[in-house]
Chain A
Amino acid sequence: MNVTDEPTQIPGPPAGPTAPPGAPGEPQPATIQRHRPAARPAAAPPPAQAAGAAPGSGDLTDELLRSDQWTDAMVATAGIPVTDKPFVSIGGGIGSFVTVDYLRIAGVTPDRIAILSNLDFPWQTYEYLTRVSQIPRPERIRSDSASRPDNIWGFPSYALAEAVHDRSLGPLWHVFREPMWADFYTPKAGQVFTGLEREAKRIGYWQMLVKGQVRMVRKRQGGGYFIILTPMVGSTPTKRLAFRAEFVHLAVGYPGLRYLSELQDFRTEHQDFHHVVSAYEEHEHIYETARKKHTVVMLRGGGIVASRVLQRLMDDRAKYGLSTDIVHLFRTYITASHGPNAWNRRKGGNGFAYQGFNYPKSVWGGQLKAKMRTLEGEDRAKEYKLMGGTNTPWRRRWQAQMNEGRAAGWYRTMAGTVDHMRIENDMIVSEVKTANGKVEVAADFVIDCTGLEADISEHRVLADLLQHSGVGRNPLGRLDVERTFELRGTASGPGVIYASGATTLGGYFPGVDTFLGLQVAAQEIADDLARRGFCPRIGPARSVSQWLKWARNAQP
């Protein structure tokens, strides 16, 4: 009952953490990056670096750029001002927020923590992504009732809070009947954001936030790390600031999104970013066009975002009496329940694999979580494959809408891949390779809902880390973390780098890029920090007293 599933933070508008804010000379982040083979850092040539700055300039010198390990003197020679903070969290999205929330509740004071981010508030990227992918504030996200990033206890759950707020037993009755007689209860996006704002104020989040773009993390000779931040233009006398920390936490979110290659080729060739879009980009114009004329929309992908976009198209169709036709193309078409045996069978049909949340629920606390902790290498990768794959919830409303569309012929599904796309008579024609041969599908718009993710080396901070820190990759190619979420190979004296979120997918814990997954990671990190003497371990008495403070909205 403790599950969640929305992406946490992805570089992209309005503020992508892959480029320094306000640095006109440097390229801005691309929301969508070209689908290309993953570059292995060991084989990839080091990224071209501009020559280092002159010593004393307050910028990165050649010596700093080249060295895996820095001394205090090297940073001083560069003229970069240094701030000491025992704990620094990089990212500033929900991953940073949840971790810092845990530490504050454990008793760490705000002056011992710095959060480095170009985001103004932790849910900024998340809210942008949910909004454009058709989950505005009044809509419900795909997340469990007890997965509250603003409440480490998950009590009261969102359902209970909503019941109290609305003076209605409805939400509780819903949870009681789920999932047999009701779809899983999920909270409204607005409820989540309101709660996050309250908790952020309570723990003094903005006291700890330092705005800017993190450039790199390097080991410090003698222990700990230096983190280089490019602050907001004009906010400091030097171009860079350095933070000297014993503990670093990386929560930079998704390294980026990738486009399907044929879609990217089409966009590049025709410079058309209007008719072929990603669901994670603003694409309101498609819904507006559909309200003015008959429109054919082609959807790609079978996950939650495809379902959401599909719902919006179907809602609009019903609400405004539109004649929109929808062609839904699946690369992998699921026809029925699937799995290796009766104990591992996931529901499916009409193209979709059905699952309440993005993993089976027990990865967040039950037997799958316990099992995954024991698996290594290939065994772990195999288990990921078994429980993974694109999936979406089976929701009554969506089923009714799709059934209606299938019966009336305005919603069609296909299985196949697209070799090539072209423009013909103002339509986008996709040449679809199916089991029965090639079929051409003409549509006014193509929406890519596949949500492919970029390789971690495409994120600047992670690329630098791969090159200079000694961190390795896990069986899924992401950052290799211990069960405590410590990055393997990056220890520096007593110092530790932790990572949580999407960059660690493939580790001992699968549900990393979810609300509850971030809390699982935060708990492991806080407990590990307690073992290292950084903070007290939260025991039952402290937990209860802190919960009472949470309930009263009093500072931890």
Chain B
Amino acid sequence: MLPTLDGRIQTRIALLAVVGGLVTLIIGPLLPISAPLSTVYQDTFLILLAVIILGIGWECLYHFLMQWRWEKDWPTFFGLVTAIPEGLLVWGLLQAGAIPGIKGTVPTGAFVIDFLVVWIVVWLVANGPMRVPFIRWRFRGGRLV
């Protein structure tokens, strides 16, 4: 991708909210969590919200790191591998009870599945299909508005 800071943040919010939201809705009932579906949705959507909010900070860091790249690009691989630090941070916050509104405990396995599936689908959409409805998006550094 060839993002600007604005574009990064807008893309992060839009894709996680729309695509991530849909994926969360679909996989919620399939996650290995022994709790009512309403609780599962509450927890997984709060996790998604945390990824969006924390992501704004992460995007600022990525933008800063990108300045050392001559091309000012963000390779496809980077977009995937950043799941590791971001996932670890959210998991750490979950364990510390720092994400408000979470009911009970989210099992590690369920968190890994939820986080990775959402991340990979969003990453795949950002690397191709996103360009189909939004033909100006890639020429505007990822800005949608």
**Inter-subunit contact B141/A544 (CB<8 Å):** no
Contact residues of A with B, CB < 8 Å? Answer: 1-2, 146, 152-157, 160, 175-180, 339, 342-347, 355-356, 360-362, 364-370, 520, 523, 538, 540-541, 543-544, 547
**Inter-subunit contact A370/B128 (CB<8 Å):** no
- The 8 Å CB contact of B139, one of A155, A179, A342, A523, is A523
**Inter-subunit contact A360/B75 (CB<8 Å):** no
Whose C-beta in chain B lies nearest to the C-beta of A347?
B70
A-B contact pairs, 20 of them (CB 8 A): A1-B75, A2-B139, A152-B135, A154-B138, A155-B129, A160-B128, A176-B77, A177-B77, A343-B68, A361-B73, A362-B72, A362-B73, A362-B141, A366-B73, A367-B141, A370-B141, A538-B135, A540-B133, A543-B132, A547-B132
What is the bound-complex CA distance between A520 and B76, given in angstroms? Answer: 21
Q: Which residues of B contact A523 (CB under 8 A)?
A: 135-136, 139
B103 sits at the interface (CB 8 A): no
- The 8 Å CB contact of A360, one of B7, B67, B71, B128, is B71
A343-B67, A344-B70 known; A366-B2 Cβ under 8 A: yes
Q: Which residues of B contact A541 (CB under 8 A)?
A: 133
Q: Which residues of A contact B4 (CB under 8 A)?
A: 366-367, 370
- The 8 Å CB contact of B75, one of A156, A178, A365, is A178
Q: Which residues of B contact A177 (CB under 8 A)?
A: 77
**Inter-subunit contact A180/B75 (CB<8 Å):** yes
- The 8 Å CB contact of B131, one of A154, A175, A367, is A154
What is the bound-complex CA distance between A4 and B80, given in angstroms? Answer: 24
What is the bound-complex CA distance between A541 and B4, given in angstroms? Answer: 25
Q: Which residues of B contact A342 (CB under 8 A)?
A: 68
Whose C-beta in chain A lies nearest to the C-beta of B129?
A155
**Inter-subunit contact A362/B77 (CB<8 Å):** no
Q: Which residues of B contact A146 (CB under 8 A)?
A: 131, 138
Q: Which residues of B contact A364 (CB under 8 A)?
A: 2, 139
Q: Which residues of B contact A179 (CB under 8 A)?
A: 71, 75
A153-B135, A155-B128, A155-B131 known; A368-B72 Cβ under 8 A: yes
**Inter-subunit contact A360/B76 (CB<8 Å):** no
**Inter-subunit contact A544/B132 (CB<8 Å):** yes
What is the bound-complex CA distance between A365 and B73, given in angstroms? Answer: 10
Q: Which residues of A contact B138 (CB under 8 A)?
A: 2, 146, 154, 365
Q: Which residues of B contact A362 (CB under 8 A)?
A: 2, 71-73, 141
Interface of A, secondary structure class, is loop
- Given A343-B68, A362-B141, A366-B141, 11 more A-B residue pairs with CB atoms under 8 Å apart are A146-B131, A153-B132, A154-B131, A360-B72, A361-B73, A362-B72, A365-B139, A365-B140, A367-B5, A370-B140, A523-B136
**Inter-subunit contact A366/B72 (CB<8 Å):** yes
Q: Which residues of A contact B140 (CB under 8 A)?
A: 365, 370
What is the bound-complex CA distance between A177 and B80, given in angstroms? Answer: 11
What is the bound-complex CA distance between A177 and B3, given in angstroms? Answer: 19
Whose C-beta in chain A lies nearest to the C-beta of B135?
A543
What is the bound-complex CA distance between A356 and B73, given in angstroms? Answer: 11
B9 to chain A, nearest CB (A): 13
What is the bound-complex CA distance between A414 and B68, given in angstroms? Answer: 31
B97 to chain A, nearest CB (A): 37
B1 sits at the interface (CB 8 A): yes
Q: Which residues of A contact B75 (CB under 8 A)?
A: 1, 178-180
Q: Which residues of B contact A540 (CB under 8 A)?
A: 133-134
Q: Which residues of B contact A152 (CB under 8 A)?
A: 135
Q: Which residues of A contact B1 (CB under 8 A)?
A: 1, 366
A2-B138, A180-B77, A520-B139 known; A365-B70 Cβ under 8 A: no
Whose C-beta in chain A lies nearest to the C-beta of B7?
A366
Interface string of B106-145 (1 = CB under 8 A from A): 0000000000000000000001110111111011110000
B67 to chain A, nearest CB (A): 5
A391 to chain B, nearest CB (A): 11
A343-B68, A365-B141, A523-B136 known; A153-B77 Cβ under 8 A: no
